Amino acid sequence: MDFQYLFELLCGGVVKGSIYALIALGYTMVYGIIQLINFAHGEVYMIGAFVAFIVAGILTLTGYSGLTVLVLAAVVALIYAAAYGYTLEKIAYRPLRNAPRLSPLISAIGASIFLMNYVQLAQTPDFLPFPELVADFEFMEPIARYVSSVDLVILIVTTVTMIALTVLIKYTRIGKAMRATQQDMVMARLVGVNVDRVISATFIIGSVLAAIAGVLIASRTGQINSAIGFMAGLKAFTAAVLGGIGNIPGAVLGGLVLGIAETLGAGYISSAYEDVFAFGLLVLILILRPAGLLGKAVKQKV
């Protein structure tokens, strides 16, 4: 057994998994509050990557370089992703708050298709080369084989983001309101929580996380396309379900498990079937443990 190869795969898996985890957090938070699979979440991720690409393109051509470009592009991308997430909720989900369960789901699929084609028509259906914004660090030289500089940035950013999110949810006012809404929407409203605003905030936070993931993954793979959001969204949802949907640590765990499983499967069996492993895992988990790894089985009350 080649341990070096295994270790290489594991590192790749963790990096990939942490990206999935970032997107999965958005799914899980929205699902926890309004029990809706936000199908268009993957598109928000894609839009984040696209906006970053455009801003980076303009800045590079006007003569900036390196870290300035990355930070500026990321900030603009985050703002736009938040704006899109907010608008999406207002248009496609809010009018359906009290509709039967299937309606918002279909509306979400429609929104996803709409956004995907909107970007495709407004920009291009081809793959675009994403500029390399993270320079190779010198101190990474000895271990660059396992963890490249971009990977290091990804790991640091995701860790910081997740800690920030935990703090936000645990200790701030809006976090408290979010937890209250998640537990019982009617009761939260009774004690004076502005539920509409909490839901908007959830969408904004989720979208920001997705945009961070978008910028990071685009600078790692080096190319973007209007269709990347669909697969990424699906995988991230798988990660969320894997960890137990509605459960925030679960989403992170699910993302990591999914990323590692996928890379190992691709590395040892066949890379063409990478997606098959992800969905196979999803089906297995749903059959064996429908509540997910960390989720608690919820009894449905009548």
Question: Smallest distance from the beta carbon of 183 to another protein, in angstroms?
Answer: 20
CB within 8 Å of 57: residues ≥ 6 apart: 131
Q: Using CA atoms, how far apart are residues 18 and 33, in angstroms rounded to an integer?
A: 23
Q: Which stretch binds another protein (CB under 8 A): 1-9, 116-124, 142-150, 206-214?
A: 116-124
Do the beta carbons of residue 211 and residue 48 sit within 8 Å?
A: yes
Name which position in 6, 67, 71, 99 contacts another protein (CB under 8 A).
99
Question: Which residue number, 69 or 193, has a Cβ lying nearer to another protein?
Answer: 69
Closest CA to 212 of 76, 57, 32: 76
Q: Does 72 bind another protein (CB under 8 A)?
A: no
Q: Does 101 bind another protein (CB under 8 A)?
A: yes
What's the DSSP call for residue 97? T
Q: Which stretch binds another protein (CB under 8 A): 9-17, 87-95, 154-162, 198-206?
A: 87-95
Name which position in 20, 33, 69, 80 contacts another protein (CB under 8 A).
80
| Amino acid code (one letter) for 40 | A
Name which position in 61, 190, 191, 297 contacts another protein (CB under 8 A).
61
Exposure string over 103-129, b if 16+ CB within 10 A, otherwise e: ebeebbeebbeebbeebeeeeeeeebe
Q: Does 28 bind another protein (CB under 8 A)?
A: no
Residue 142 in tokens? 């000895």
Q: Does 105 bind another protein (CB under 8 A)?
A: yes
Site string for another protein, 261-290 (x = CB under 8 A): ---------x-xx-xx-xxx-xx--xx--x
Question: Smallest distance from the beta carbon of 243 to another protein, in angstroms?
Answer: 14
Q: Using CA atoms, how far apart are residues 29 and 40, in angstroms rounded to an integer?
A: 14
Q: Using CA atoms, how far apart are residues 178 and 170, in angstroms rounded to an integer?
A: 10
Q: Is the dihedral of CA 33, 35, 36, 38 positive or negative?
A: positive
| Phi, psi angle pair for 129, to nearest 5° | -75, 120
Q: Does 113 bind another protein (CB under 8 A)?
A: yes
Point out which residues bind another protein (CB under 8 A). Answer: 36-37, 47, 50-51, 53-55, 57-58, 61, 76, 80, 83-84, 87, 91-92, 95-96, 99-107, 109-119, 121-124, 128-129, 131, 230, 234, 237-238, 241, 270, 272-273, 275-276, 278-280, 282-283, 286-287, 290, 300, 302
